[in-house]
Amino acid sequence: MPDREQLIRLYRTLTGPGRHLLRWQMDRTSGFPIAILFYHRVADDVPNDWTISCADFAMHLDWLQSEFELVGLPEVQRRLREGRCSRPTAAISFDDGYADNCAFAIPELLRRGIPATYFVSTDFVREQKPFPHDLRAGQPLAPNTIEQIRSM
């Protein structure tokens, strides 16, 4: 069976002409799509389905910075209203409000100058109680503190 690199080369060879034609058409019409990526938790401990490691998150950011114009949600809304997007664009958001995001994800986004939107579940922050899905998984992960939210 071919290895992963051979399969990737084959994919690129077979789809290259079509991808180049699509890119040319999008360039002409300012019709690039806008991707909104959402993350929940970036941390190296307590792996689960809603957590990405710090190294993988950094790799995501490297790729996103090389392939997309990274904008905040207000800019996404403006481009959607105008119906024009002249290059591949992406926005980053976080859901829930995990305390762990303040250790790596938020500082890394700030260091790189990447805008992001950070949604928090205010009841869990105010009460400092773990999210129900974490409790069901036996992983009582901490939500952000009010102080962490204020410091953002």
User: pTM of this prediction?
Assistant: 0.78
Please check the confidence at residue 92 and state whether its pLDDT lies above 60.
Answer: yes
Please check the confidence at residue 102 and state whether its pLDDT lies above 70.
Answer: yes
Residue 90: predicted pLDDT = 96
**Rounded to whole angstroms, what are the CA distances from 149 to 2, 98, 121, 143?**
48, 10, 11, 10
Domains in the chain (CATH in brackets) are: 1-30 (no CATH), 32-151 (3.20.20.370)
Left (φ > 0), alpha (ψ -120 to 50) or beta: where does 113 sit?
Answer: left
Q: How far apart are CA 90 and CA 83, in angstroms?
A: 15
Secondary structure of residue 37 in the 3-state scheme: strand
Q: How far apart are CA 117 and CA 37, in angstroms?
A: 10
Residue 14: predicted pLDDT = 73
Residue 60: predicted pLDDT = 97
Residue 13: predicted pLDDT = 79
Mean residue pLDDT across the chain: 89
- Kindly state the average pLDDT of the residues 83-97: 90
pLDDT in tens, 33-80: 899 999 999 999 999 999 999 999 999 999 999 999 999 999 999 988
Residue 28: predicted pLDDT = 52
